[in-house]
Amino acid sequence: MSQPVLKFKKLSSHAFAPERGSAFAAGLDLKSAYDYEVPPKSRVLAKTDIQIQVPHGCYARIAPRSGLALKYGIDVGAGVVDEDYRGNVGVILFNFGDEIFKVAKGDRIAQLICEKICYPTVTEVDVSLFLSYSVSTMGQISFAVLICA
C-alpha cells in the first residue's frame, strides 16, 4: 500500500514548507509567513501562505504546540481544514498570557495533523436517543441507552 501524500503549494515567497520535527512526530510544523503581535487576552489570524491538499478520506487538524502553550499561554482555535479547502492556511492564535506574544516570520506556530475521517449519512429518527453512563468508584463504566418516545 502506498504512503498517503500531503500536497502543498507556496502562495508567496514568504511561505515555508510544512516539516516534521522528528521522524515519528505526529504533526508537521506550520510556520508563520509574517510578523505578528498577539496582545494579551486576544487573538490573531497568522497566515502561513500555503495551500494544502490532504489525502482523500482525511482532514487536517491544526493543533497547538505544547511549548508555546506552556511557556507563553498560546493556544490555537478553529483548527479544522476540510479535504476540499484550497485557501491560504491560517492559524488562529489565542494569547491567554499577560504579555504581548510576538511572532516572527518563520516561527513555528502550530502543527498540522492529518486524520482519517468518516462522512456519515445523516438521518432523522422518530425517537429521542440518549446515551448515559456512570463511572463507579472502582473506575468501571456502565452504559445504558435510553429510548424515549
CA 142 to chain centre: 32
Share of the chain above pLDDT 90, in %: 81
Tell me: pLDDT of 125 over 90: no
- pTM, to two decimals: 0.84
> What is the C-alpha to C-alpha distance for residues 74 and 43, in angstroms, rounded to an integer?
9
Tell me: pLDDT of 124 over 70: yes
Give the alpha-carbon dihedral of 85, 86, 89, 92, to 10 degrees.
Answer: -40
Of the candidates 82, 83, 14, the one whose C-alpha atom is nearest the C-alpha of residue 48 is 14
Residue pair 101/91 in contact (Cβ under 8 Å)? The answer is no
CATH class (in words) of the domain with range 7-116: mainly beta
Residue pair 93/36 in contact (Cβ under 8 Å)? The answer is yes
> What is the C-alpha to C-alpha distance for residues 51 and 104, in angstroms, rounded to an integer?
20
All structural domains of the chain with their residue ranges: 7-116
Tell me: pLDDT of 56 over 50: yes
Q: Residue 126: pLDDT band by 50, 70, 90 thresholds?
A: confident
